[in-house]
Amino acid sequence: MSAVFDSFSRFYASSIGKKILVALTGLMLIGFVFGHLVGNLLIFAGQDAINEYGHLLQTALHGGGVWIARVGLLAAVLIHVVATVSLTKQNNAARPDKYGQHKAQVSSKSSHTMILSGLTILAFVVYHLLHYTVRIGNSFNSDAYKIDLHGEKVHNVYKMVIDGFSWAPASLFYLIAMALLSSHLSHGFSSLFQTLGISTDKSEPVFKKAGYAFAGLIFAGNAAIVLSIWLFGYGR
């Protein structure tokens, strides 16, 4: 047991080991971001559709499913953030004397700002959880946000989302966060295949384009929800 643990701590202590963990947790979070968007787009299918979906998530595996997902995601986020912060610190220490002139020839702006976009997204996730999951600083936990669905009293996710995005500051912060998430994904998506040792000269351009398409999709889908409610009055 301790031999395996020693090996793991050596793996984590190494540059490539940390990066592989960042890539694997990044892959999990990419999967989550996609599923989250698909589920949320049900808002356009009407009140019952999204409320039923919300109820399904809450009651899957007798209410255990949502907690399994939460624990898994929390672990993924923790590993992703702790490892990247530590890698970034090492990167900064690796060049104590800066160049007078340093030109980037091929790398994107997004790839140079991963830690900034990432930490802003982290702050957003905290706000987002307080907003819609813990529901602090609003009345989303009150009886006004309960509704009858097939004879069962369930949480009115639909009304909560509509009311949530009717407030301009929240909508604006969501849009900024989604733009940064999209920037983060535009580098992170194809990057993870390189770190996991999968990229080839033939597949790399495909991963790159898929990453841009995915980043665009995540922004467009999430922004559509916010904008259609906030600016175009959907559901209000």
Count of alpha carbons within 13 angstroms of residue 44, beta-carbon side: 12
Sorted by sequence, the CB contacts under 8 Å of residue 144 that are 6+ apart come out as 159
Residue 27 Cα distances to 34, 78, 80, 156, angstroms? 11, 14, 10, 31
Minimal distance, residue 75 CB to other proteins, in Å: 20
Positions in 104-123 near other proteins (CB under 8 A): 104-108, 111-112, 114
Please tell me whether residue 139 binds other proteins under the rule CB under 8 A: no
**Torsions phi, psi for 97 (to 5 deg):** -95, 115
Where are the alpha helices (H) located in 60-167, listed in sequence order?
64-93, 109-112, 114-128, 157-164
Q: Which is nearer to other proteins, 151 or 197 (CB)?
A: 197
Q: Which is nearer to other proteins, 140 or 189 (CB)?
A: 189
From the list 95, 142, 143, 169, which residue makes contact with other proteins (rule: CB under 8 A)?
Answer: 95
Positions in 30-89 near other proteins (CB under 8 A): 87
Please tell me whether residue 197 binds other proteins under the rule CB under 8 A: yes
Residue 77 Cα distances to 90, 159, 182, angstroms? 20, 29, 17
Q: Which is nearer to other proteins, 62 or 106 (CB)?
A: 106
Q: Which is nearer to other proteins, 10 or 153 (CB)?
A: 10
Instruction: Give the contact letters, 157-196, x = binds to other proteins (CB under 8 A), - = no.
Output: ------------------------------x--xx--xxx
Residue position matching structure tokens 């992703």:
80
From the list 46, 61, 90, 123, which residue makes contact with other proteins (rule: CB under 8 A)?
Answer: 90
Distance (Å, whole) CA 158 – CA 168: 18
From the list 1, 2, 62, 98, which residue makes contact with other proteins (rule: CB under 8 A)?
Answer: 98
**Torsions phi, psi for 154 (to 5 deg):** -125, 170
Interface with other proteins (CB under 8 A): 3-4, 7-8, 10-11, 13-20, 87, 90-91, 93-108, 111-112, 114, 187, 190-191, 194-201
